[in-house]
Amino acid sequence: MTKNERAWWSPEALTEREREVRMGPSDDAHDLRNDFASYRELAGGSEPQSSGLHLHNEVEPWRIDTVCRDYGVIVRQSLRRQPRSIADLGCGAGFTSDGLRRTFALATVTGFDVSHDAVYYARNRWTQCRFIEGAITSGRALDGAPYDVILAQEFYPFTRTGSLDSHREWTKFLLDNLSNDGVAIIMVSARTPDSINHTYPQLRGEFNIRRNRIAAPRLSQRLSPGVAGVAGTLLHPVRPQWVRNLYVLQRQ
């Protein structure tokens, strides 16, 4: 990983980029392919589709229900009790955070995101969840930690670099913020090469981490969780774009 590569996805760089898009006129501020520009539009009153939010966040109800169902299966298998606290890292506008709240009715769900506009929207729409604005840094504990469940869904430190050192650093961060029997789930598309997909063989030798392959939501919604897992395994060699990798991390 080069210095320039780290610069764009690091917490410090994202904080600066978010501020530039939100505070001043720029090309990025009007390009809805930029997630911060979409959040700016959303906070200004645009609907999720017209804001471009669907390019950056899960927003369709059936997709939210499907991904949270699959997370629920993993949590129940791994935690073996009802979670009381859940952290959603890089939660964006909070759609998945609310899905987690509905899936785990006894848990308090806290979403974390660097975007002021995304958190503003989430706080106003999903009032039964808690949202915290600010960059997540590996050297500082999460507010409210430890958590029984931590979700890192397409979370940049695991999806935008293939650096083993970075993945070690952020894997330790997840463990440091988990309860003793807690579980962290790292989700990334199976077709993303420079990601934890690349470093998993090394991480598996150092941490208690395993990989579940599950069919993409459009397929998974029509299948039982067990069949969705079998489908993900079979599809991966030929259609990785139809597969999600869910990495399950625990202390022991």
**123 with 103: CB under 8 angstroms?**
no
pLDDT of amino acid 1 = 42
d(CA 156, CA 99): 21
pLDDT of amino acid 31 = 80
B/e letters for 142-179, b = 16+ CB within 10 Å, e = fewer, are beebbbbbbbbbbbbbbbbbbbbebbeebbebbbebbb
pLDDT of amino acid 22 = 85
CA 125 to chain centroid: 19
Ordered per-residue pLDDT tens for the chain, 252 residues: 444 445 588 889 999 989 888 887 655 556 888 899 999 999 999 998 889 998 888 899 999 999 999 999 999 999 989 999 999 999 999 999 999 999 999 999 999 999 999 999 999 999 999 999 999 999 999 999 999 999 999 999 999 999 999 999 999 999 999 999 999 999 999 999 999 999 999 999 999 999 999 999 999 999 999 999 999 999 999 999 999 999 999 998
pLDDT in tens, 113-137: 999 999 999 999 999 999 999 999 9
182: nearest Cα among 151, 214, 156: 151
Q: Which residues neighbour 197 within 8 Å (Cβ) at sequence distance 6 or greater?
A: 188, 190, 245
Domains of the chain: 3-55 (no CATH), 61-250 (3.40.50.150)
Task: State phi, psi for 182 to the nearest 5 degrees.
Answer: -75, 175
pLDDT of amino acid 2 = 44
